[in-house]
Amino acid sequence: MAVQSPLPPAEVLADRPAVLRLDGPPPADPAAWAAAHRTALRSAVAEHGAVLVRGLGLADAATVGRVGRELLDGVMTEREGFATRRLLADGVYSSSEWPPDQPMCMHHELSYRREVPATLLFGCLTPPASGGITGVADSRTVLESLDPALVERFERNGWRLDRSYTDTVGVGREESFGAASREGIDAYCARWGIGTEWRPGGDLRTRQRSAAVLRHPADGRRGWFNQIAFLNEWTLDPVIREYLTFEFGADGLPFNSRYGDGGAIAEDTVLAINGVYEKHTLREPWQAGDLMVVDNLRMAHSREPYEGEREIAVVLGDPVRIPDPV
């Protein structure tokens, strides 16, 4: 085991995530640096929720993977993703493929699943020419700022995610479930509490209910942990929403969030949630070689529109089982 070394205090400024700046040239081996500072870096993440390490000099996806294996207790294979990713190296994915001119709203990665990554690693291999910030927001602060009546309804009934899988739109079934056959998909869904409805022609619709509020296992504090505002029809570009609704029907969108009792979520509710997120978003522009370590149970994250090339390598780690919704 590597000898653990201390770290200087992270820089914490208003409206920005904690930034840990490494003096001098980048380490010769970023993974060896991660091994030597694992305890201190994870402690900093526990304190701040997210830490951006600047000056680590990450140059390729394989190095990001090696850093991940040193920092994390385990690396996850993504299942049930809402957008396609490319596999860049062993255990390392591209960021979700989403139109560059469209924002990815605040969310906790895979928060609709029963098993989620407790920790995320983002490694900046190519920063965008402009924009493209990965913002973060503390779910505890967000929860405290939301309308108590809205929180009470979601906490009482949870939230529901409806998905449609077709051969023409969205993530493929095999990529999502790790199985190609109907029997294999049904077995996966039965294991993880996902309802299935096979449609004429072989299309699949699924339905799953999750808790909207999570008590963090480390300190028991409650946070707004979900993807209610992001995976909702009102976040889609209006032209895209109109086309998908015309083509597949209101119940056939690739994804849509609802109240846990099945009720539709109004547009003004989605806007109110995203307004609270915006108020509490912390931003720091990417620089080449940056590493951001995020407590996914505590901090939501987003991706802002960008121009130019952008390559962020992602590792999903420290899988944890989420309590079933009541």
Q: Where are the domains of the chain?
A: 18-98+116-138+283-319, 140-276
Distance CA 230, CA 240 (A): 15
pTM of the model: 0.96
Higher per-residue confidence, 49 vs 253: 49
What residues form DSSP beta bridges with 295? 119
Q: In 99-253, which residue ranges form alpha helices assigned H by DSSP?
A: 139-145, 148-157, 173-177, 182-191, 238-248
105 within 8 A of 134, measured Cβ to Cβ: no
286 within 8 A of 124, measured Cβ to Cβ: yes
Quote the percentage of the chain above a pLDDT of 90.
Answer: 85
pLDDT digits (tens, 9 = 90+) for 113-132: 999 999 999 999 999 999 99
pLDDT digits (tens, 9 = 90+) for 58-103: 999 999 999 999 999 999 999 999 899 999 999 999 999 999 999 9
Enter the tokens of residue 14: 């208003």
Q: Does residue 1 register a pLDDT over 60? A: no
Q: What is the chain's mean pLDDT, rounded?
A: 95
Q: Specify the fold of 140-276.
A: Double-stranded beta-helix (3.60.130)
Distance CA 155, CA 259 (A): 10
Q: Does residue 323 register a pLDDT over 90? A: no
pLDDT digits (tens, 9 = 90+) for 241-300: 898 888 888 888 899 999 999 999 999 999 999 999 999 999 999 999 999 999 999 999
Distance CA 75, CA 68 (A): 8
Quote the percentage of the chain above a pLDDT of 70.
Answer: 99
Class of 18-98+116-138+283-319 in CATH? alpha beta
Do 18-98+116-138+283-319 and 140-276 agree at the fold level?
A: yes
